[in-house]
Structure 1
Amino acid sequence: MTLTPEMLLRGYAVGIFPMAEHRDDAEIFWVDPKSRGIIPLDGFHISRSLRRRLRSCRFDIAINRDFAGVVDGCADRAETWINSEIRQHYIALHESGHAHSQEVWDGDELLGGVYGVAIGAAFFGESMFSRRTDASKIALAYLVDRLRQAGFTLFDTQFLTEHLASLGGIEIGRSEYHRRLDTAIAQPADFTAPSVPSPCQLIQRNTQTS
């Protein structure tokens, strides 16, 4: 099928998302999982090791500094569902203000990040990557805090992996997901509004809501 950025947004709004079998496959299909992975915004878990990593402060945090670089980092693996058409459309969504990246930097080096699509108060996490230990976890911790501070109510991770479960992710059924989705997309939220907290602020806020 031929995708457009507008079609992508309509798909997310009704609870489906696109994938390709691999990077060289031109065919794109829609997915509507029977069980959906989400991270409750008041249930993200920062482990002791991640707290130590956060307090080390050997990184810079940014949003939307290099969205295309984050997408490319996520696709830079042996198996990926991000083909050239999907990449092109997510960059178009970013340029129109509908897709965002949370990034971890060391100077001019992009260490890790996560990207996704925002509609109303729903954020649809697409993928994340790491080029240094725990960089993707750090990005995810800052993303969850940003979503919480910006007024989001739903953080969709599509599927629940063992990694996401260790960070507080859970699985809900399709009907429950659609109920939460309908409520979230009808509410306002602003991904770019919150300032970047210090590591201590991030840890303290997470402790208060966990």
Structure 2
Amino acid sequence: MTGVLLPADQVTMQVYTSREPEDPEFTVDSILPFLGLGATECDLNHYVLPMQTSVQTYVCPALEAAESKWIPWDTTLEDSFRLHMLVCDREVFVSMRHFASLHNYVINLGGGNPANRILTYVELHCLPPTETVEVLGRMHKTLRKLRDDVAILKTEVRLLRRTFGQALENLAANYEELAPLVGLVAPPHIQGDPHGADDAEQAD
């Protein structure tokens, strides 16, 4: 059997969910009471971020990708994904890990025949403060590079507009019929005042 070395700030749990007709549909927040947590109130959302990955993904998703992996608390537990709970407070993580250990890191939801159960793997992660600093540093570096790229592109656009304008002027100088098409001179039908021309003819 191949073992997987997990960091100290990560705990793996197994959640068995009954699929008997008389049992309710168990969701992510059904696990919370077993971890010493109450309902999914706003305070909890400030500290714990539920995420979903493939079953084979043991490690915590990168902090930059956390938003794309986020799932609501009322997501139904399935055996087709691995649930990750990213805990942003050390004390909350230690408390959750303690309550998980009281259940030997195994949670059974519902009764019925054990054969009619599905297994969902749950990973508890504690977000190291250093990772937040590293992410902010990478974001700042990327922002500075994007600003430099935008400045270069603006300069290139100005040069292209100038070159294109000069090319159009040269083209219109050699081919007068093209000038109205590029907006360098007014088309013949709007040059001057047509009403004034009619008045002059009537006066004659």
- Fold shared per TM-score above 0.5: no
Larger radius of gyration: 2
Name the one with the larger strand percent.
1
Please, what TM-score do these two structures have when normalized by structure 2?
Answer: 0.22
Name the one with the larger helix percent.
2
Please, what TM-score do these two structures have when normalized by structure 1?
Answer: 0.22
